[in-house]
Amino acid sequence: MAIYELVKPEIRSIAPYVPGKSIAEIAEKYNLESDSIIKLGSNENPLGPSPAAVSALQEAAATVNIYPSADARELVDAISAYVGMPQANIVASGPGMDGLLDGLMRMLMSADSEVVVTTPTFSYYEISATACGAKPVFVKRNENFDVDIDRVIAAVNENTKVVFICSPNNPTGNITAEKELRRLLDSVECLVFVDEAYVEFAGSDIASLVGEYDNLVVGRTFSKAFGLAGLRLGYGIMPAWLKVEYMKAATPFNVSAPAVAAGIAALSDREHLEASQQMVIDGREYLQANLPFKVYGSQANFMLVDVAPNSAKDVCDHLLRRGIIVRDCTSFRDAGDSFIRVTVGTEEQNARIVEGFSTYL
Ligand SMILES: *Cc1c(COP(=O)(O)O)cnc(C)c1O
């Protein structure tokens, strides 16, 4: 037996994750000054973290010799107040919402399990389910990237454990309407995981539906609107029966004490949140009006740009040479090769994006 065969075949079958590019990587490759580069490829908050969260982190540093509470209770209380749902329905998770996905897959998936993934979408659903032995079944979104709920329902069978719906969807920016989600929740017996990573930029959310359905889980993160991507903090809103089981399987102390402190502070800093939301609302309008390609409507902090008949790779190379990092979506399953995802930046950054795309033509 070759030594690498010690690794489960389902892990070996996974294609390596393609992350957004980093500033250091691009500075070196194109011989640019690091501080001239703008990073708009990973949907981070260009305003930075909330100053209140930074202070809380500094303060928490003095006591990191002590374990945090096992269930991050103080943070769960703050999240409960923020989302308007009882503590019994909230779990805090690390690392990030990705940690929540991993925890759920670990407790739900076995060799004959299936999950339904609506493509193109966030790639970690497929990866975490596959790593736990499950088979991902793909249902492609329609030409406007809306989910065809009837096709999703038809793809569910007795082995299906979870349907993943990202809303607003990464990388397309559109939401799935509550009416459609209700139809899905009413029609299937498996769990429906609705990923609301970008909910603070959308006009609606479905957290309260967790009180009505025993098969709905909502995933959230502090990485996007709250500007804490480097801290790796997320949370889930789920039925109480599922939280009880989840807590049995979750990694103990998976949310660090500094993350607990920073999360609470970030939730209390409404000024920073509102400034971040307003920047995105203004930026979306500007990019929609000024980018010289087809731009899809977005309820998130990024825009999907279709550069056809050009290739996304060529346009991204042109932008990178100018110190602008955006996300080539070619690696997203079922996305084709002409889509680019651009994080909404500050006014100044957005002007550079428009100039970068315009000079390609
Ligand atoms: C960024 C992102 C996440 C991951 O969030 P983390 O909390 O940073 O792990 C989850 N889902 C979607 C759709 C995302 O874009």
DSSP assignment of 228-263, as one string?
Answer: -GGG-BEEEE--HHHHHHHHHHSPTT-S-HHHHHHH
Question: Which residues, in sequence order, are CB contacts of 276 under 8 Å at separation 6+?
Answer: 45, 47, 200, 225, 226, 227
Percent of the chain with pLDDT over 70: 100
- List the domain boundaries for the chain: 3-48+271-360, 51-268
Nearest Cα residue to atom 12 of ligand 1 = 197
End-to-end CA distance of the chain: 54
- Alpha-carbon distance of 243 to 89, in angstroms, equals 7
223 lines ligand 1 (CB under 6 A): yes
Question: Which pLDDT tens digit goes with each residue over 27-37?
Answer: 999 999 999 99
325 lines ligand 1 (CB under 6 A): no
Cα(97) to ligand 1 centroid in Å equals 6
The dihedrals phi and psi of 104, each to the nearest 5 degrees, come to -65, -45
200 lines ligand 1 (CB under 6 A): no
Nearest to 236 by CA among 79, 78, 81: 79
Question: Which pLDDT tens digit goes with each residue over 113-172?
Answer: 999 999 999 999 999 999 999 999 999 999 999 999 999 999 999 999 999 999 999 999
**Rounded mean pLDDT of 198-209?**
97
Please confirm whether the linkage preceding 120 is cis (ω < 30° from 0): yes
DSSP assignment of 12-76, as one string?
Answer: HTSPPP-PPPPHHHHHHHHT--GGG-EE-SS---TT-S-HHHHHHHHHHHTTTTSPPPTT-HHHH
Architecture of domain 3-48+271-360: Alpha-Beta Complex (3.90)
Cα(219) to ligand 1 centroid in Å equals 9
3-class SS of residue 135: strand
Architecture of domain 51-268: 3-Layer(aba) Sandwich (3.40)
Residue of 98, 174, 175, 255 to mutate, ligand 1, most atoms within 8 A of C-beta:
98
Nearest to 173 by CA among 65, 300, 18: 300
In this prediction the pTM is 0.97
Residue of 221, 302, 329 to mutate, ligand 1, most atoms within 8 A of C-beta:
221
> What does each C-alpha distance from 64 to 69, 95, 202, 283 come to in angstroms?
12, 17, 36, 39
Does the pLDDT at position 18 exceed 80? no
Ranges assigned E (strand) in the chain: 38-39, 90-93, 114-119, 135-140, 160-166, 191-195, 216-221, 234-237, 294-295, 302-306, 324-325, 327-328, 339-343
Rg over CA atoms, the chain: 20
- Alpha-carbon distance of 95 to 255, in angstroms, equals 7
| Pairing mode of beta strands 135-140, 38-39 | unpaired
Instruction: Please report the pLDDT score of residue 317 as a whole number.
Output: 96
* 21 confidence band (pLDDT: 50, 70, 90): confident
Cα(36) to ligand 1 centroid in Å equals 27
Residue of 45, 79, 93, 97 to mutate, ligand 1, most atoms within 8 A of C-beta:
97
| Pairing mode of beta strands 324-325, 38-39 | parallel
Question: Rounded mean pLDDT of the chain?
Answer: 96
Q: Which residue has the tokens 């082995």?
A: 159
Token output for 128: 């975490």
Sign of CA dihedral 312, 291, 176, 43: positive
Question: Which pLDDT tens digit goes with each residue over 95-113?
Answer: 999 999 999 999 999 999 9
Q: Residue 217 forms beta bridges with which residues?
A: 193
- Alpha-carbon distance of 135 to 157, in angstroms, equals 12
Q: Taking a C-beta distance cutoff of 8 angstroms, is the pair 187, 151 a contact?
A: no
Cα(355) to ligand 1 centroid in Å equals 29
102 lines ligand 1 (CB under 6 A): no
170 lines ligand 1 (CB under 6 A): yes
